[in-house]
Amino acid sequence: MDKEDILHIQAPAKVNLFLSVLSRRADGYHELSTWMQKLDLADRISLQPTSFGVKIQCLGANLPEDENNLACKAARIFFKKTRIKAGVAIFLEKKIPIAAGLGGGSSDAAAVLLGLNTLYEAGLTRVELMEIGLLLGADVPFFVADYSAALATGIGEKLQKKNALTDCWFVLVNPGFSVSTKWAYENLVPVQMSNFALTIEGNPDILSRSTESDFSGSFFNDLEKVTISRYPEIEVLKKKLIDAGASASLMSGSGPTVFGIFTDFERADAVKENLEKDFPGRVFLTCPLHSE
């Protein structure tokens, strides 16, 4: 590739179709079992090679434009690990809501790692990039992996490829406030954590539903208990989506974004348009990625 070229990359959002918090570890992290699905809603990232340094410009969002931005941090750690004497200018166009439970920051970091590996022909494998990604956050390896859907265990870094959802659409509703993932986990008490027997490992039929039209009863999120206790409007949004015809509705990650799964596009589109009246600019109609 000509080093004067600008590389354009999509950084997809994700939803947690299932999130079971199993236990708190001695190091403060939590053991999880979560089924993650990538969506076609995505941030847009452009990488321009430079002779030195890392610069980032964020479009469409009030985000830090320094090492406090995970995409910038990803670039710095890439150059440190590969010892490549070069730099990059990152242009980040945000489409995924911030601090919304959709993995936008982690996906941006993963896209930068993958993009720089291509741009500078570093030759790192996916596994090597995933190991670097884990230094940035537990969700980053999932976005680096060439999986549209995966069962993640450990703190989220152990991945098992799963079939992606098909023939369905997601209506995402972001209520307009952010939720700290750190806060959500810190306020999760043991009684709110799942019994291991209730996780996906104990219910393999849950995953088999991924190609069926009936999603009801398949999915849950332990972090809902924490986030809804502080933000009851999340429960109201879930009910609105179910009443509007969603087969299932859940909060993604630590929230606050709520999604509804629809098997009829016209119905999903109508629900999206209706919800836009109360949540202008914060409702998204998207579908699952399935590259398999």
Tally of residues, the chain: 292
Closest CA to 35 of 136, 153, 141: 153
**Alpha-carbon span 136 to 74, nearest angstrom:** 7
Beta bridge partners of 84: none
* Residues classed as catalytic: 14, 139
Q: How far is CA 85 from CA 54, 80, 88, in A?
A: 12, 9, 11
Helix and strand numbers, DSSP H then E, in the chain = 9, 10
Closest CA to 60 of 15, 91, 103, 101: 91
- Please answer whether residues 253 and 128 qualify as being in contact, where contact means their C-beta atoms are separated by less than 8 angstroms: no
SS3 16: strand
**Alpha-carbon span 244 to 271, nearest angstrom:** 7
